[in-house]
Amino acid sequence: MDQQNLIWIAARHSGNSVAVIRRALYALVAPTLVGKHYRIDAERIYLSGLSGGGRVASMVATDYPQLFKGAIYNCGANFRDGTTPPLIELIKQNHYVFITGTKDFARKPVQQAHKKYLKAGVENSKLLVIRGMPHENPDRGDFEEAIQYLDSRTTN
């Protein structure tokens, strides 16, 4: 995070047993809370999650594309069909990275969610299928590649 000049925020005790609405709320209030102590670049507020957290991140990122300018979905992602046209235009402006591995049991659903993004016209979407990776977070190099892709939206 230091190399990328990012602050990592994670909610404790917010796994799959916690209601989705509560997990979404944690994500929504985090930028405001951190902004009280640090100067935040609003163009670099990203969201990420692993497995069920990736699925929640994919819901929150597309519900609030004006806040979250990009997201990394690790081994889990959803796509909400029926997104309203004004929202989809904001979603299209952001960048999204879908990460899965060849040994990830959720590989196919992640790939399907990525295809749905592309079909909806969200071309700023990247799929990383990492050879040999099971259902876990990617290594530092792959995560750094994902962050660089998110940051590329500010340099286009």
DSSP per residue, 51-62: THHHHHHHHHHH
For residue 8, tell me if it sits in a domain.
no
Give the residue from 57, 121, 123, 43 showing the smallest Cα distance to 83.
Answer: 121
Tell me, what CATH number does 104's domain have?
3.40.50.1820
Can you tell me the distance from the alpha carbon of 88 to that of 86, in angstroms, rounded to the nearest whole number?
6
For residue 10, tell me if it sits in a domain.
no
Domain that holds residue 130: 20-154
Q: Please state the pTM of the whole predicted model.
A: 0.93
pLDDT in tens, the chain (156 residues): 778 878 888 888 888 988 999 999 999 999 999 999 999 999 999 999 999 999 999 999 999 999 999 999 999 999 877 666 578 899 999 999 999 999 999 999 999 999 999 999 999 999 999 999 999 999 999 999 999 999 998 765
Task: Work out how many domains the chain is built from and give that number.
Answer: 1
- Mark out the alpha helices in 64-106 (DSSP H runs): 85-93
Can you tell me the distance from the alpha carbon of 136 to that of 147, in angstroms, rounded to the nearest whole number?
17
